[in-house]
Amino acid sequence: MRYRLDVVAADIADVVAYAGGWLCDRVMAGWDVTVAVSEQRDLRALQILGVTPFVADQGFESAVDDVGTAAIAIAPEIVESNENIRSKVVRALDDGVAEVTLWGATIPPGLRGRVDRLQHRLSGAAHAFKAHALAAAGIPATAVSATEDLYGAAPWYDGYCEPDTHRLASGQRQDR
């Protein structure tokens, strides 16, 4: 049985820029990662990361499946604008049965204090794949950072912590 991560993204370039390395590392750790996007566009950037793209033609209501999902990751603007997704995120946080992760510069007001800032250190392979995915998404990949800032809550962690209390995402090794 493999862990499953369901991702809901408003924009392919956004998810690649903010969380592409984390998603790639999850795939390399053996996770099944599906990314739902709202529009059929060039999906190569997601395919480069190893995730399975899914076009949610009827909105995102079916994108986050409660059955069998170990983790969900959502763009903050979708949490703010989609009541169904917001209720699934809040339920996951309340029940504590699935990891919840968000990316971006801001956290929706209703989730502040419920998610922690996480810093994911990209593996060397994820760093390289993210650079190629950014190029495919039309984003200059001249300076791919070694880390990605995420926000999340999980019922479990691997026990690896950054020195300044930043927790690593589940399934991520800390390289020293």
Position 160 scores a pLDDT of 31
CB atoms within 10 A of CB 58: 9
Please give the distance of CA 123 from its chain centroid, rounded to a whole number: 16
Position 135 scores a pLDDT of 94
**Tokens 């760093």 identify what position?**
127
* Sheet (strand 32-37) strand order: 52-55, 32-37, 4-9, 71-74, 99-103, 147-153, 116-121
- By the 8 A CB rule, do 96 and 126 touch? no
65-124 per-position pLDDT tens digit:
556 788 999 999 999 988 888 888 898 899 888 899 999 888 888 898 899 999 999 999
Position 171 scores a pLDDT of 47
Return the closest-CA partner of residue 43 out of 125, 136, 141.
Answer: 136
| Burial degree of 157 (CB within 10 A; 0-12, 13-18, 19+) | middle
Q: Is the pLDDT of residue 162 over 50?
A: no
- pTM of the full predicted structure? 0.83
Confidence grade of residue 59 (pLDDT, cut at 50, 70, 90): low
The domains found in the chain, sorted by start residue, are: 4-153 (3.40.50.10320)
Confidence grade of residue 159 (pLDDT, cut at 50, 70, 90): very low
Structure tokens at 51: 């995730």
Confidence grade of residue 55 (pLDDT, cut at 50, 70, 90): confident
14-44 per-position pLDDT tens digit:
999 999 999 999 999 999 999 998 877 789 9
Rounded-to-integer distance, Cα 66 and Cα 91, Å: 10
Structure tokens at 134: 């950014």
Q: Is the pLDDT of residue 173 over 70?
A: no
Position 147 scores a pLDDT of 95
